[in-house]
């Protein structure tokens, strides 16, 4: 398998009440099953054998943590999510043996394992600039019953995206203004509708949108080619955003613990 440099944004924060319970305001440092989420991400990447250099981008509390020190590089955060990714990208591209493709892995995935990453990478077409994992609603609900997630209904099924991405480094650089525009409008229905265009929105509302339509939209919006990697592992989507996500995750890990003999 090819090797890639990996960017791990680690500045995501949680609300004060949740932070008081877990002892940190940063998602990456939440401990589940005896490991921080950042540590789990680094463990999974190391176990794949596909990660060459790793860079963690986050505030001082995160990058000074023992788990962050296992990464090849550590960087302070920028002003936005995309800014953090581009800080990592620029730093990695200064290395003489920098990868042509970069793997972005979020640091809030409690069930991330090497097998899920490897399966995703093996399905990524070599000629596409951006590869995004897609998870079917039925598969997610079977793996994590009783949880809530947002799915988009397409013509063939309902899907959600995973939280790891494989990107061509130069295409990512070229697409920076377009990615920043998407990030700025991500919470605005009107803004996203303008970006997506009336035909795309109409097909989505009429449930006639296909995966090919999504890949074509990536090309038109970001000026680079994209591939949707279907049937990806549901663990690539399940992340920790709120207290109920944390409680559900810790409950599953407790179920996995071997019964203690008194």
8 A C-beta contact, residue 38 and residue 8 = yes
Domain 4-254: give its CATH code: 3.90.550.10
CB atoms within 10 A of CB 59: 15
Q: Which of 110, 120, 131, 121 is nearest to 43 (CA)?
A: 110
Residue spans of the domains in the chain: they are 4-254
Looking at residue 148, its pLDDT comes to 82
Token representation of residue 11 = 């500045």
Q: In this structure, are residues 187 and 193 in contact, taking their beta carbons and an 8 Å threshold?
A: no
State the number of CA atoms in the 13 A half-sphere of 36 facing the CB: 21
More confident: 3 or 159: 3
Average pLDDT for 80-95:
91
Q: What is the mean pLDDT of the chain?
A: 87
**β-strand partners of 165:** 104
- Would you state the structure tokens that stand for residue 94, as one six-digit string? 């200064």
Average pLDDT value for residue range 172-177: 84
Residue closest to 164 by CA, chosen among 238, 217, 218, 99: 238
Q: What is the pLDDT of residue 260?
A: 42
Inter-residue contact 141 to 106 (CB < 8 Å): no
Q: Is the pLDDT of residue 76 over 50?
A: yes
Taking residues 103-110, what's their average pLDDT?
Answer: 96
For the chain, state the CA radius of gyration: 18
Condensed to tens digits (0 to 9), the pLDDT of residues 120-161 reads: 999 999 999 989 899 999 999 999 999 888 887 777 788 888
**30 pLDDT exceeds 90?**
yes
What is the rounded average pLDDT of the residues 35-54? 97
Provide the whole-model pTM: 0.88
Cα atoms in the Cβ-side hemisphere of radius 13 Å centred on 249: 23
Report H helices in 23-80.
Answer: 37-48, 60-63
Over range 106-115, report the average pLDDT: 96
Q: Is the pLDDT of residue 261 over 50?
A: no
Total residues found in the chain within this entry: 262
Task: Name the β-bridge partners of 103.
Answer: 6, 166
pLDDT digits (tens, 9 = 90+) for 179-193: 777 666 555 556 655
């Amino acid at each position: 398998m090819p090797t890639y440099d990996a960017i791990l944004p680690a500045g995501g924060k949680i609300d004060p009440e949740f932070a008081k319970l877990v002892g940190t305001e940063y998602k990456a440092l939440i401990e589940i099953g005896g490991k921080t989420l950042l540590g789990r991400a680094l463990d999974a990447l190391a176990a794949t054998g596909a990660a060459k250099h790793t860079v963690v981008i986050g505030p001082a509390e995160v990058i000074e943590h023992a788990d962050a020190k296992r990464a090849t590089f550590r960087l302070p955060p920028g002003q936005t999510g995309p800014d953090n990714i581009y800080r990592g990208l620029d730093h990695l591209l200064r290395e003489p043996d920098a990868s042509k493709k970069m793997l972005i892995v979020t640091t809030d995935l409690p069930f991330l394992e090497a097998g899920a990453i490897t399966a995703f990478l093996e399905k990524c077409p070599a000629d596409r600039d951006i590869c995004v994992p897609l998870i079917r609603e039925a598969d997610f609900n079977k793996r994590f019953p009783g949880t809530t997630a947002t799915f988009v209904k397409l013509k063939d099924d309902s899907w959600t995206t995973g939280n790891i991405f494989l990107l061509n480094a130069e295409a990512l650089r070229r697409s920076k203004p377009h990615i920043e525009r998407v990030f700025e409008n991500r919470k605005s229905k009107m803004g996203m509708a303008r970006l997506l265009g009336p035909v795309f929105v109409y097909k989505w509302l009429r449930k006639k949108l296909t995966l090919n339509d999504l890949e074509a939209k990536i090309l038109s919006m970001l000026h680079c080619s994209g591939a949707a990697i279907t049937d990806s592992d549901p663990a690539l989507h399940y992340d920790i955003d709120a207290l109920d996500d944390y409680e559900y995750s810790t409950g599953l890990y407790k179920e996995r613990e071997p019964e203690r003999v008194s």
